[in-house]
Amino acid sequence: MEASDRERLRLLPALIEHQRVRTTPVKSEASASAQRLTFDDGSSAFAKFAHGDRPGYLAAEANGLRWLREACESVVEVLYADDRILVEPWLEPAEPTVEHAVELGRRIALMHKAGAERFGAPWRGYIGETFMDNDPAGPDWPEWYAARRIEPYLRPSRDNGALDAADAAAIEALAGRLPELAGPPEPPARTHGDLWFGNVHWAADRAWMIDPAAHGGHRETDLANLPLWGGVPLYEEILAGYFEVAPLADGWRERIGLHQLFPLLVHTTLFGRSFRGPLMEVVARFS
């Protein structure tokens, strides 16, 4: 990056405030607004602006992007970040291709293999518009997942009417069986943490990973999230690329539902009873 580009990024908040950069709204989640920034030379960048009362929301995302990008060049770069704004390169969308899908799978595998110091992360986490507890809990993934990715979402999902007492009890019982259901022990992987199809951005040069909820987790989690909510294009091709680098343990397809418990509980927490059905279908599968 040239010195002039670095200076422009340093001054970006002031340039936006004083309308020295042309802005165009871009669709984004409720917790932030997004703009395409167009500079005088015709170049563009993508900017996300925090709003609401979630301290550290964009800082957590920037931390996660930088941490993942240390191990994977297919994670979008952070150009600038502070408490109010996160700026990334503008990536013009393109159609998915088999070549890019296979390469994405390889890159995800390399990212996972880079590992993490522990399950969780040293920063306060967020996923979508709600909290994500990244504190330590137990020595192994099943104990950590039950304590940090299942239990914290039961009370808010009951309080908003998404789940009843019997639902919560069934989920707690399944969480207690995770040590026997989770497959062979795995060390902490460097995971994206929210890798549904909306967070895979297909561009002309490659498939990029965006908007992470990054943490040290189980590598099967990212691959289990890709089929959610209609599914990522070319899923099997992504898997083929992944398995070239880092095959998964036998039985991983049968364990997909275990890893989907967390995003489904996030949705019952955020959106209520309309997501109870898919969640309890997964619970019933393991009963």
Closest by Cα among 104, 59, 40, 39 to 48: 59
Most confident of 36-45, 125-134, 219-228: 219-228
Q: Which positions ≥6 away from 63 have C-beta within 8 Å?
A: 121, 123, 214
Residue 189: CB atoms within 10 Å: 25
Q: What is the pLDDT of residue 1?
A: 47
Contact 234, 203 (CB under 8 A): no
- C-alpha–C-alpha distance, residues 38 and 64, integer Å: 26
Q: What is the pLDDT of residue 261?
A: 98
- Supply the mean pLDDT for the chain: 91
Q: How many CA atoms lie within 13 A of 181 on its CB side?
A: 21
pLDDT of res. 272:
96
Predicted TM-score of the model (pTM): 0.91
Span 39-47, average pLDDT: 84
The dihedral of CA 155, 157, 161, 166: what is its sign?
negative
71-103 pLDDT, tens digit per residue, is 999 999 999 888 788 999 999 999 999 999 999
Q: In angstroms, rounded to a whole number, what is the distance separating the alpha carbons of residues 84 and 103?
A: 33
Distance CA 85, CA 83 (A): 6
Q: Look at residue 175 in the predicted model and tell me its pLDDT.
A: 98
Least confident of 126-135, 226-235, 264-273: 126-135
| Residue 30: pLDDT over 80 | no
Beta partners for residue 37, in sequence order: 23, 45
Percent of the chain with pLDDT over 90: 74
Q: Do the beta carbons of residue 134 and residue 217 sit within 8 Å? A: no
pLDDT digits (tens, 9 = 90+) for 243-270: 999 999 999 999 999 999 999 999 999 9
The architecture of the domain spanning 98-285 is Alpha-Beta Complex (3.90)
Copy the structure tokens of residue 31: 């917790």
Those residues whose C-beta lies under 8 Å from the C-beta of residue 109, and which sit 6 or more positions away, are 241, 242, 243, 244, 245, 246
For the residues 205-224, what does the mean pLDDT come to?
97
Question: What length is written for the chain?
Answer: 287
Our CA angle for 250, 277, 149, nearest 5°, is 55
User: Order of strands, edge to edge, in the sheet holding 80-81?
Assistant: 22-26, 32-38, 44-50, 85-89, 80-81
Are 26 and 32 in contact, with CB atoms under 8 Å apart?
no
Spatial distance between the Cα atoms of 118 and 272, rounded to a whole number of angstroms: 32
Tell the residue number behind the tokens 């009873």, with chain if given.
273
* Residue of 101 and 56 predicted with greater confidence: 101
* Whole-number Å distance between alpha carbons of 52 and 248: 40
Fold for 3-89, please state it: Phosphorylase Kinase; domain 1 (3.30.200)
Ordered by start, the domain boundaries in the chain are 3-89, 98-285
**Tell me: the pLDDT tens digits for 156-177?**
999 999 999 999 999 999 999 9
42 vs 100, residue with greater confidence: 100
